Chain A
Amino acid sequence: MSDAESPSDEFEPIEVFPDDETPDLRPGADDCYKCSTCDTNCPVAEVDDDFPGPKFQGPEQWRLKRKEDTSVDDSISKCSNCMRCDSACPSDVPLSQMHNTARAEYVDEELSKTSLTYWRNRVLANYRTSAFLASKVPRVANAAMNFGPARWAMDRLFGITSEREFPAFATETFREWWEREGGADGSRERARAARERRGEEGEEKKVAYFHGCYANYNTPAVGKAMVRVFEHFGYELVVPKQRCSGTPMFANGMLDDAERHAKVNVSSMGDLVEQGYDAIASCTSCSMALRQEYPELFDIDGIEDLAENTWEALEYLRVQEDLSGELSAATVEDENIAELAYHAPCHARNQGLDGQALELFADLAGVDAEDVGDSCSGISGTYGWKSEKYDTSMKIGDEMFEHMEDVEGEVGMTECPTCAMQMEHGTGYEIKHPLEIVESALV
């Protein structure tokens, strides 16, 4: 102790983290020893030399912001939220969590709420709202959305690329089909019959299906495959009220929107989890959101329970049932899906699911699924839809397109709806979800 001044009696601890609601990112920033391995795994930094990479966007930017006059650098909006840096890190730095919070802060504080970019991003992030409206008049919407002059205007004035075809809206949504099939009551009947057939009477098998927006509005075939496959194994499904998982909102820094939707999902799915249901998603970005991003970003009652009871569809069957056994005893007669070019979505990789589909189909007669490499597809949800990001998105996708062309046949397979969009856009291939292959094999 120096003799210059005696210490005051009153102890005033420095408040390091004044706002309890923001996640404490200090330990994560401190864990980074700057090896730069994440930078060598970043698909955006790979094709865009101006993007400083995940190490800067995460720990370095966090540290810079400790200074009061420092704001979040606008390069954060170039991050596509593929989350590859998470599994690249040897030191468990929560990079994607840091990126998500930095992006939200950037949008809150730096991006003008009257700018076209803000509203363009907000419209893209709230895809569910557009899809909901379009699904009321699907045929009109499909015609209007791909009407040349309208697309030209959207590109020039609003920044949504005219290079891509808008995905078609289904004339009957998954939920409409589900109701027509008798909803939960119908499922209970069918599942009971299946359990009898399987000699599993008396067993309780119940799951809550999180279909997400895309399987509902655009590819109900994926949702139907999910229902049929799970009922084949004797599971009763319920399809609770749900909103967007939040994935496109995280990627656009719209955390308030994401939290509003998350509250609905955690409430409806969480109630079911409490009653003993497991939550199942067919989209790997939805399952990623429920499992990892929700508890990392929000403080909602029941959010941890939901995260711990959420599964990807095939992962669940593989662990709970003898899925590999049934598949290796089955044969697929459909020539159309005899050769499949499989792309593992980045978000599936981060759940340890990237090898799963290939492994499951290795012994399935009539199907030859081939991996198209470990590169990112490049679309990253809404990212590749932005006019200024389109070229980057396609450059990232190049490697995958090339490998797809090398595979015999012209059908692709992936778990992620937007990766599927990119695969189709780059090659013209028809794209299937692994659940649809399982449906062909077993149902």
Chain B
Amino acid sequence: MAIEDDVLVVGGGVAGMTAALAAAEAGASVRLVTKSQSTLRHASGLVDVLGYADGDLLADPFAALDDLPADHPYAKVGVEAVRDGLARFDAVTGERYRGGHTDRNALLPTHGGAVKPTARYPASAAAGLASDERDALLVGFETLSDFDAPLAADHLRAADVPFDVRGATVSFPGTPRADAKVTRYAHALDGNDDEERERLAARVARVHDGEPRVGFPAVLGEAHPGDVRATLADALDADVFEVPMGPPSLPGIRLEADYERALREAGVNVVRRPVVDYEADGEHLTAAVVERNGQHVPHHAESFVLATGGLVGEGIDSDRGGVREPVFDCHVPHPADRYDWFVDERFGEQPYPRFGVVVDDDLRPRDAEGRIEFENLRAAGSVVGGADFAAECSGMGVSLATGDAAGSAAGADTQ
């Protein structure tokens, strides 16, 4: 009835937010409904397109896109959609991200001391590139157990990085509680009320041996990360970089803020409640039904985008009986015997990560017979089957490319 928009996006991750921005740019009025806060706080902040193919590290992801199987989401949308998705990401993040100058993958050290191929990375991590041959010092904090700097340095050396790297642990000024949340560090550095930046730099100086770059766990400020790094860099006379961390992640929180700002500026209305049902007139969706603490409220639209995530994000649900897409009940192909959903080798070619809805080139989900499920529904992100984002390092890229394509098409359909 009265809640009515041109485009309704279901799901608030990167794919959903990208779709909403694309649809709004096409001139549509857009509402985004998401069951909870965006999961960007789980994201490292690194933006991959394609890091590996058949287990091999890729130097240039774009050169490898053509070789992907026909049911891979990249194969459905094509290389131009990948570029459009990245362009939209660059527009949202501006100066706060790097990597757009080349098609080639950058190699970034992670908090475990691994090296991750990635297409875009936060400016805060730029001085940490593993291809940089300058020596590095990694600094951890005694109370932040998620980053063990000496261990991460050992791992990086074992990975044969082309520079010397050493780890040291210092106590953070003010000595936070042993299990202090990561935002405690970030906000102390942001506020600098007790000169935390200068005091931290002084502690690091005692273990710093002239390395031209110094890496910290990615907690260097939420609102003013640039200022925090600049103060530390001045005091240490070295480049300062962040090493991306696990959840909750400050680079992810900053990215979340960037996207929220972009959505606000684009006039997208965001509702944080789950979609539990739909209304349809034959093959035409008329509304997504939003659950509001007991109440069921239909949200009407002309065109819909399903971007609820994969098995982790609960956009794809499974139990012993089968695998399904719970919002619009789209077809999700999977072997009838659940022992065929996985292989025993842990890092083997696992079938289950590729479970998801089957889409056509216009990203419209198809049923078991190959017919369109709903004429005005498109799918984007990891709810779409065919990609193993963890093994390929393709999660963000797939979300950006399919989100942009689905949102643009949905928006155009309503204009």
Contacts and interface: CB of A to CB of B under 8 A. Distances in A.
Contacts of B295: 291, 308-311, 315
Interface string B14-50: 0000000000000000000000110101100000000
Please classify the interface of chain A as helix (H, G, I), strand (E, B), loop, or mixed, using the class held by over half of its residues.
helix
Nearest to B268: A355
Interface stretch (B123-131, B178-186, B359-367): B178-186
Given A45-B181, A315-B292, 19 more contacts: A36-B181, A36-B247, A37-B41, A40-B183, A49-B180, A49-B184, A88-B36, A88-B37, A90-B39, A90-B313, A92-B36, A291-B292, A292-B294, A315-B297, A318-B3, A319-B297, A320-B1, A351-B273, A352-B290
Contacts, number: 96
Contact of B269 (A50, A92, A291, A359): A359
A354 interface: yes
Nearest to A352: B273
Contacts of B292: 291, 315, 351-353
Interface stretch (A165-173, A201-209, A321-329, A386-394): A321-329
B271 interface: yes
A37 B42 CA distance: 8
A353 B180 CA distance: 31
A235 B3 CA distance: 20
Given A41-B37, A46-B187, A307-B293, A87 B248 contact: no
Contacts of A240: none
A397 interface: no
Interface in A139-196: none
A81 interface: no
Nearest to B250: A40
A52 interface: yes
Interface string A292-324: 100100000000100111110001001111111
Contacts of A323: 2
A325 B42 contact: no
Contacts of B57: none
Contact of B270 (A35, A88, A309, A355): A355
A37 B270 contact: no
B82 interface: no
Interface in B229-258: 247-248, 253
A53 interface: yes
Interface string A341-373: 000000001111111000100000000000000
B104 interface: no
Contacts of B269: 355, 359
Contacts of B187: 46
A89 interface: yes
Contacts of B184: 49
A292 B183 contact: no
